[in-house]
Structure 1
Amino acid sequence: MTTTAPGRTVFDAVESEVRSYCRAWPVVFDRAEGSRIHDEQGRTYLDFFAGAGSLNYGHNNPVLKRALLDYIGRNGITHALDMSTTAKRAFLETFHSAVLEPRGLPYKVMFPGPTGTNAVEAALKLARKAKGREAVVSFTNAFHGMSLGSLAVTGNAFKRAGAGIPLVHTTPMPFDNYLNGRVPDFLWFERLLEDQGSGFNHPAAVIVETVQGEGGVNVARAEWLRGLADLCRRRDMLLIVDDVQMGCGRTGGFFSFEEAGIVPDIVTVSKSISGYGLPMALCLFKPELDLWEPGEHNGTFRGNNPAFVTATAALETYWRDGALREHTLVNGGRIERSLRELCAEHGRLGATYRGRGLVWGLEFTHKERAAAVCRKAFEHGLLIETSGPQDEVVKLLPPLTVTASELDEGLGILARAVRDTA
């Protein structure tokens, strides 16, 4: 029989020290619905974290839950690897008709392992296979996952150090506005490509987030993204957009690159694609890139049928019309106005804000203030996290289904937390 020493929880005694979110929110959560989550003591918190973007439609969305319960209740297939199932067929048909076809996107759909980093690994492998070249360009402050290939194109020094081996065959370039507008876009990139003495291996691909969530809510301008797409086309490089966190409506459109009017060669999607927090990931690519041999890239859990069921319900409920997109943009405007007023009220703190849709960041001159604001917000009943290479940005990531009153409540708590730490 195993016992836990007095004053220690089973989490302290048994679980690894690698755990992190539970340190910021030191309670035991028990249940949740919509934009709210409850701990085992009965206290309620407004959730502006949304499973790091995995719960765009809120906790236990009733429409998705009903579809899942019905499927399980009739003994629907749970595990099938990449075998054909009715659940997979329904998802593919709905994804094509509700998402791809209306946007004129020609993508083939690949199911890698069920996480975002699995999708990124598949994208990098496919790009290298298609071009026959090893090098990949990423961007400063990027985050693409925690497996070795994804870490190689991630900028965060702390996370990269955990690899334990050299992370090779990648080169970072400045993200939009990294040099504060002092240098024309892609000047350095173009120069390296054209100079035979630069020592720069011609890349197979470029991977980019349109909004760097973990990197500090850094928003790329539409014209910068168009310039990047043009550069990739001219220089025979594939463009990979990592939409793991910013896809599925987070910035307004289903894909975050829609506003820029570009069509990436490869797109990675995960987090909220299942709609219910169930593990699921997609790697999308143009048909001419479908160069895989059968079984060349696989994974035991690439066929998560319960996730197909909830994903289909989410697409049918929210993506047959533009209502959710408009709701997201309207609420994004509410956040922007609130953050503008907050920064004006606390001008001496040097606070700045940035974002798109329903992802926003609030940064302070004194970097440690962001963590203090998040701690105080938790005390007042709001879950928010920090982001950025030094955890210097307060990150807002509410569910897309958040109501106006919930949004105002959360923004009010944020304002109170800023005042309490000023």
Structure 2
Amino acid sequence: MKVVEELRSPLKVFETLESEVRSYCRSFPTVFAKASDYQLWDRDGREYVDFFAGAGALNYGHNNQRIKAKLIDYLMDDGITHSLDMATEAKEKLLERFHDVILKPRKLHYKVMFPGPTGTNSVESALKLARKVTGRDLIMSFTNAFHGMTIGSLSITGNESKRKGAGIPLTNSISMPFDSYFGSEADTVSYIERFLEDNGSGISLPAAIILETVQGEGGINVASFEWLRKIEELCRRWNILLIVDDVQVGCGRTGPFFSFEPAGIYPDIVCLSKSIGGYGIPLAMTLIKPEYDLWEPGEHNGTFRGHNLAFVAATEALSYWEDDQFSREILEKGEKVRLFLEMLAQNYPEMEAEVRGRGLLQGIKIGVDGLAEKICAAAFERGLIMETSGPNSEVVKIMPPLTIDEKGLEKGLTILEESFQWCKQMI
């Protein structure tokens, strides 16, 4: 009887012993056992192409061989693992490499803060610092934004169901329309400024404006470079700090290391996590313009901010950024994905599809309710792991490891088209 139950439900242990809060395992109902680069295998040996990349934490693929070798050597040499914010050789090397490889060539001047090791930790630290610097409490964010699941981050997140999970009123924040929220012709920056300049608007001057240049979880909504520059100008004009949340779309996901580089803007604070850890190891960094680094010692901290294994992995991952070759490859792959998605949109007009994205964060919005989720489910059955995004899960999201080769990319895209073909009959 026990054998029959296990065959009937491969996730029985998880369904019985783990909290109902689990989500991704419901979309990908198998038990994974092994992974390498863009491939995963479940315990039955079935192979999957990964167009999910750990929700953006695996830009350099699963078990990246270069990074793995550094980690193994470090462990075998009894390197420091946990250190709070004490000085270690691993942290020293990361700070030097990040300055020399990333910041200096881009003429960016930031102090590096290590908060707790997740994206929401970086966001929370940015919000606290902005309030400390300006003496104001209001934070302005945008429609369809996603910034994390802790209370401060949820207060500036747009998704209704996620906000509801807080269980308390979410305060000291205001949401404004993102670029093209009212359509391509509407100037939402002028709309925002009207609220700021009108003493009767009921909106106080915010401490900071926080934004994603591409709203990954919000539906692959892409801000134009012109809009980003206008937001920066508005911040300078009103003495508002500009925070860019590059947790998911940074570390090369859109092509350049920072997603905001092509816009030519210089944020006051930048939030990094996910792939900054190099290997899927938890790590977060908050980059702060030196003049705003006003923290008192220990004013913001966390037990696991000294994650030395992540420091080692992150340092090796920076070797991909010593020149612009990797960035060019990402953009070339991204163009291939875009052309493929445009072909799908054209060939399947009944899906009312719309292509979105930059670099290797691409998406295709499906105009038929509920169909995007069915497409992703059909893809999983055929050996492709993808998720949906958007407030109504209406966007099929393509986010493979940046290191994926042409063979893997083509295989995944072929499965995606097969899934479109299968789901067409449901319309």
Matches within 5 A, 1:87-166: 87-166=90-169
Post-superposition shift, 1:315?
Answer: 0.3
| Cα displacement string for residues 287-310 of structure 1 (whole angstroms, at most 9, x for unaligned residues) | 000100000000000000000001
Find the counterpart in structure 2 of residue 297 from structure 1: 300
Post-superposition shift, 1:348?
Answer: 2.3
Aligned partners of 1:337 and 1:260: how far apart in 2? 23
* SS of corresponding position for 1:186: helix
Find the counterpart in structure 1 of residue 383 from structure 2: 381
- Bigger drift between 402-411 and 73-82 goes to 402-411
- Conserved? CA contact 1:4–1:10, under 8 Å: no
Find the counterpart in structure 2 of residue 319 from structure 1: 321
Instruction: Say if 2:52 is the partner of 1:49.
Output: yes
| Cα displacement string for residues 205-233 of structure 1 (whole angstroms, at most 9, x for unaligned residues) | 00000000000000000000000000000
Find the counterpart in structure 1 of residue 282 from structure 2: 279
Q: Structure 1 pair 253/380, CA: closer, same or farther in 2 (3 Å)?
A: same
Find 2:369's aligned residue among 362, 367, 370. Answer: 367
Identity %: 57
Post-superposition shift, 1:187?
Answer: 2.2
Report the count of equivalent residues.
419
Aligned partners of 1:329 and 1:387: how far apart in 2? 22
- Conserved? CA contact 2:60–2:401, under 8 Å: yes
| Cα displacement string for residues 246-283 of structure 1 (whole angstroms, at most 9, x for unaligned residues) | 00000011000001000000000000001100000000
Find the counterpart in structure 1 of residue 81 from structure 2: 78
Aligned partners of 1:210 and 1:186: how far apart in 2? 14
Amino acid across the alignment from 2:57: S
Post-superposition shift, 1:364?
Answer: 1.2
Matches within 5 A, 1:168-317: 168-316=171-319
Instruction: Say if 2:377 is the partner of 1:400.
Output: no
Amino acid across the alignment from 2:17: V
Post-superposition shift, 1:324?
Answer: 0.8
Aligned partners of 2:155 and 2:51: how far apart in 1? 29
Amino acid across the alignment from 2:136: R
Aligned partners of 1:116 and 1:232: how far apart in 2? 23
- Conserved? CA contact 1:127–1:204, under 8 Å: yes
Aligned partners of 2:240 and 2:179: how far apart in 1? 19
Find the counterpart in structure 1 of residue 340 from structure 2: 338
* SS of corresponding position for 1:227: helix
Q: Structure 1 pair 286/4, CA: closer, same or farther in 2 (3 Å)?
A: farther
Extract structure 1 runs of 4+ deviating beyond 6 A: none
Aligned partners of 1:387 and 1:225: how far apart in 2? 22
Aligned partners of 1:367 and 1:228: how far apart in 2? 33
Amino acid across the alignment from 1:235: W
Aligned partners of 2:185 and 2:197: how far apart in 1? 21
* SS of corresponding position for 2:188: coil
Amino acid across the alignment from 2:423: T
- Conserved? CA contact 2:178–2:188, under 8 Å: no
Amino acid across the alignment from 1:190: E
| Cα displacement string for residues 318-373 of structure 1 (whole angstroms, at most 9, x for unaligned residues) | 01011110000000010011011111101122111111000011111113110000
- Conserved? CA contact 1:367–1:393, under 8 Å: no
Aligned partners of 2:420 and 2:240: how far apart in 1? 44
Instruction: Say if 2:40 is the partner of 1:37.
Output: yes
Q: Structure 1 pair 195/348, CA: closer, same or farther in 2 (3 Å)?
A: same
Aligned partners of 1:349 and 1:164: how far apart in 2? 37
Amino acid across the alignment from 2:24: Y
Amino acid across the alignment from 1:231: L
Q: Unaligned regions of 5+ residues in structure 1, if any? A: none
